[in-house]
Amino acid sequence: LGAQHLALLTRRMQFGRLAVIDVASAIAGLAVSIAWTFIDRSYWALFAGTLTGAVLPTLCYWASSRWRPGLPRKVAGIGELINFGAGITGFNFANFFARNLDNVLIGKYWGEAQLGLYDRAYKLLLFPLSQITNPLSKVMVPALSRLKDEPDRYRSAYLRVMPLILLVALPGVAFATAMSDVLIPFVLGEQWRASASIFLALGFAGLLQPLNNPAGWLFVSQGRSGDFMRWGIITAVTSVLAFMLGLPYGALGVAIAYAISEYLRTPFLWLYVGKSGPLQAHHVLRAATPFVLGAHLALAAIWFVKPALPQQHVVALASSAVLAYLITIIIGLAFASGREALREALKMLPARLPAAAPREAQ
């Protein structure tokens, strides 16, 4: 009921208001659940909190947007909108299929234990990455859509943001992948140690996902939902083939096959993105190489020095994380595009400080 209103607020780039609504709704849902436990200590407390967290933001979206639904009527250009939405829906179906078939296959042929190890490793890797790319997608898609008729500004906007994502995400993935045998027991407990090898395999795919996932912003903002759907189908088919090839070797085999398929798909993805629009594959190659290469070298370096790290897990994890970011930054400095991205990152830090100081003085 509130999807259209949310879409309009997002299109108008009212992200501050949306953030307030999301936070207030989450707090209200938690408060209702807690209050309900004093009335009735049952599962209805969870239901009440979830219902509040769903209804309240919908009401806020309606109150914040001036649009109100009316009777259906014929509108010029509605066919183009339906076709665009059909492409997005097609991609989502293909993506959902590809993201869940691995779990179905592992559960059916290898049982609950293998599925649990695979699922835990996958979620531990995917959740931090999604916390970086998902919020940015809400900002970048409408921002890029406004610039689609200005190729130079469009290209510049994307190439300023994409290296920053890689700089933040890739060293973390490299560190976690190299230290998976220490990180998994430390975070999840010794009972999950067997999932460390699966996490290691999936981690290599994770070194490319922060680069590849934002390609969706380009398809959507350029109005290329048909291309987006076709790429989703290609990804689904190649992922399924990888799952089938790896399945005889268990959950670890599926993870390794999926990682290999991610590396094989990546160059074709960016060639496909660059076949039209203002962003070409060589633009992405120039901007991404310093940090993708740096993260892979960081992973190799941590793996090499791991036997020499302190025995205390906290110290070993902290020192390897610092080493991952340090190596990635050093490699980035060796490239002109990497230096540009690092200068951009440094500008973002102090830019807010002078602006905040006058307010405090007043």
Out of 18, 36, 64, a domain closes at 64
Looking at the structure, tell me whether residues 54 and 121 fall in a common domain.
no
Q: Is residue 74 part of a domain?
A: no
Looking at the structure, tell me whether residues 102 and 31 fall in a common domain.
no
Looking at the structure, tell me whether residues 230 and 198 fall in a common domain.
yes
Q: Is residue 169 part of a domain?
A: yes
Q: Is residue 73 part of a domain?
A: no
Q: Is residue 9 part of a domain?
A: yes
Looking at the structure, tell me whether residues 84 and 58 fall in a common domain.
no
Say what the pTM is. Answer: 0.81
Q: Is residue 99 part of a domain?
A: yes
Looking at the structure, tell me whether residues 40 and 126 fall in a common domain.
no
Out of 36, 64, 92, a domain closes at 64
Looking at the structure, tell me whether residues 230 and 299 fall in a common domain.
yes
Looking at the structure, tell me whether residues 135 and 21 fall in a common domain.
no
Q: Is residue 89 part of a domain?
A: yes
Q: Are 177 and 204 in contact (CB under 8 A)?
A: yes
Give the pLDDT of residue 11: 67
Q: What domain range is 57 assigned to?
A: 3-64
Question: Could you list the mean pLDDT of each consecutive 10-residue stretch along the chain, which spans 362 residues?
Answer: 73 73 86 86 82 86 78 68 86 91 93 92 85 81 88 92 92 95 90 92 94 93 93 95 96 96 96 92 94 96 91 91 96 93 79 46 42
CA end-to-end distance (rounded Å), the chain: 44
Q: How far apart are CA 172 and CA 176, in angstroms?
A: 6
Side-chain-side CA neighbours of 360 within 13 Å: the count stands at: 6
Closest-CA residue to 341 (of 223, 173, 170): 170
Q: Are 137 and 217 in contact (CB under 8 A)?
A: yes
* Residue where the block lists tokens 């890689």: 166
Out of 64, 92, 110, a domain closes at 64
Looking at the structure, tell me whether residues 145 and 259 fall in a common domain.
yes
Give the pLDDT of residue 21: 83
Burial 249-277, CB ≥16 within 10 A → b, else e: ebbbbbbbbbbbbbeebbeebbebbbeeb
Looking at the structure, tell me whether residues 146 and 232 fall in a common domain.
yes
Looking at the structure, tell me whether residues 130 and 234 fall in a common domain.
yes
Q: How far apart are CA 195 and CA 184, in angstroms?
A: 7
Number of domains in the chain: 2
Looking at the structure, tell me whether residues 119 and 267 fall in a common domain.
yes
Give the pLDDT of residue 350: 56
Give the pLDDT of residue 287: 94
Looking at the structure, tell me whether residues 85 and 117 fall in a common domain.
yes
Q: Is residue 359 part of a domain?
A: no
Q: Is residue 72 part of a domain?
A: no
